[in-house]
Structure 1
Amino acid sequence: MISQQSWADARRLWDFQQMGHEVRPCSVAIGLGSHDLGVADTTAALYRDGMAPLIVFTGATSRTTRDRMPRGEAEHYRERALELGVPADAILVEPNARNTGENITFSRALLADQGVVVSSVLLVCKPYEERRAYATARKLWPDVEWVCASAPMSFAEYIASIGDERLVVDMLVGAQQRLMIYPDEGFMIRQEIPADVETAYRHLVAGGFTSRLVPTVAASDWKTETWHS
């Protein structure tokens, strides 16, 4: 059972991950591969709404997707988008990326190879990873404008759609940890972490929601002053 305190802490992390960007038309939409086919649904809906003339789906497989998406996350996303009416010639597939940094760098290279001029990108991801994806994209491809989008769902609605509440909370904690430690590794831009978000993260780690933490970084190694600089 997940305690009421843990639910409150998880909702705080969920709220912090939401960038609140106003979605507008962009040069291309990049759908970040994951276990969640809802990202493909959202990307397809944005395409149909005229928010991007071209889609890149990016992603290989991971431990959470190798059984459910054996042909690779990007390919399963493409198949889903085709089912939803997106034409095949509006979709590019990047099948090799295995983390968010590779999603961005490999997609950028693919678009360059295809001669696509990009000034803005609609970055579509899971709702609880908007800020993480944005911070990574801004670091690795700083000369374009980034607009984040995800399924317009509440925390409770998203939990119900995935069907695994523990997995979602673990993923939230992992996304938050990366926001805290990856700027020092050069993987993301640095963002201010509000005190209540930091406290919520600490509570959840202490409560055992640790399966998605970077394993080489112990909870005791936190350096709050560098996170906020």
Structure 2
Amino acid sequence: MRSTTLPDDLRAAVEILWDYNQLDHEARPVDLGVGLGSHDLGVATHTADLYNQGIFPKIVFTGANAPTTVERFPRGEAVHYREHALDRGVPDSAILVEPKATNTGDNIDFTRTLLKDYGLLDGIHSVMLISRPYQQRRSYAICRKRWPEVEVLCSSLPLPLNEYIAGIGDVDRVINMLVGDTQRIWVYPEKGWAISQDVPYDVQHAYRQLVEAGYTSRLLAA
């Protein structure tokens, strides 16, 4: 049975990274919503809810599979996201599916190609990336690098940290993913994959504390 309880001695560090990786953008109308594939079906839930609120008129769900999603979404992340959105009242005509992306860079690049193929790209001037809460900052930086012509907003299902962990059902998985996403904030710009962003000292300290505690499974090799 996996634990869903944060260790008391690490709670402050986890909360610092949790807050840092969310951007708190206003949910205001944009031209396109992009649901980024992952193991978290809450991304599709939130994308559908935002569509139903009139935040955007069109959705692209993008994602193939990763080792962490193939069992849960055997037909691919984007395909399952689409089905979930349909169940939540989004019309099929409002959804495009990009089923090949295996990372966030692909999500952005392949979404642009899909829109171009449908003759829609020139009409997209603003996008909202819908992701896991701790994926916002990384996704924003990648999109700004790879699709600089558009205004980029980010959004996630608005859940407190404890509630999010309970929904995933595995606190270690959430912490490992959170640590890995934080590392990517400075590694990806070095590789030319994303724009640079400030990393405050308290974030750096919290990151090191969690790495020293053994949360390293999602770290990139040096």
Sort the TM-score into its range (normalised by shorter chain). over 0.9
**Residue 94 of structure 2: which of 90, 94, 102 is its match?**
90
What is the Cα deviation at residue 152 of structure 1?
0.7
Partner of 2:171: 165
Deviation at 1:20, TM superposition (A): 1.1
Residue number in structure 1 paired with 2:159: 153
Measured after TM superposition, the shift of residue 37 of structure 1 is 0.3
Which consecutive residues of structure 2, in runs of 5 or more, have no partner in the other structure?
Answer: none
Distance 2:7 2:83 in 1: 38
Q: State yes or no: 1:177 paired with 2:183.
A: yes
Select 1:186's aligned residue among 192, 201, 204. Answer: 192
Report the equivalent of 1:227: none
Is 2:128 the partner of 1:126?
A: no
Q: Does 2:128 match 1:140?
A: no
Secondary structure of the residue aligned to 2:185 is helix
Q: What displacement does 1:3 show?
A: 3.1
From 29, 43, 46, the counterpart of 1:42:
46
In the alignment, does 2:57 pair up with 1:60?
A: no
TM-score by length of 2: 0.95
Is structure 2 residue 213 aligned with structure 1 residue 207? yes
How far the C-alpha of 1:112 sits from its partner, in A, is 1.3
Runs of 4+ in 1 over 6 A off after TM superposition: none
TM-score by length of 1: 0.93
Quick one: distance in 2 between partners of 1:157 and 1:115? 41
Instruction: Give the share of equivalent positions with the same residue, in percent.
Output: 54
1:65-120 CA distance string (max 9 Å, x none): 01110100000000000111111110000000000000000001111111111000
* CA deviation map 1:95-147 (0-9, x unaligned): 00000000000001111111111000011000111101101111110110001
Letter in 2 for 1:86: V
Secondary structure of 1:92's counterpart equals: strand
Q: CA deviation at 1:5?
A: 2.7
Give the Cα–Cα distance (whole angstroms) in 1 for the partners of residues 61 and 7 of structure 2: 36
| Number of the residue aligned with 1:104 | 108
Q: State how far apart, in whole Å, the 1-side matches of 2:214 and 2:19 are.
A: 21
Q: In the alignment, residue 173 of structure 2 is paired with which amino acid?
A: L
Paired residue type of 1:88: D
Amino acid at match of 2:209: H
Match of residue 224 from structure 1:
none
Q: Mind listing any 5+ residue stretches in structure 1 that lack a counterpart? A: 218-229
In the alignment, does 2:204 pair up with 1:198? yes
How many residue pairs end up in the alignment? 216
* Letter of the structure 1 residue corresponding to residue 31 of structure 2: S
- Inter-partner Cα distance in structure 2 for 1:112 and 1:149: 24
Residue 24 of structure 2 is aligned to residue 20 of structure 1: yes
- Opposite residue 115 of structure 1, the aligned amino acid is G
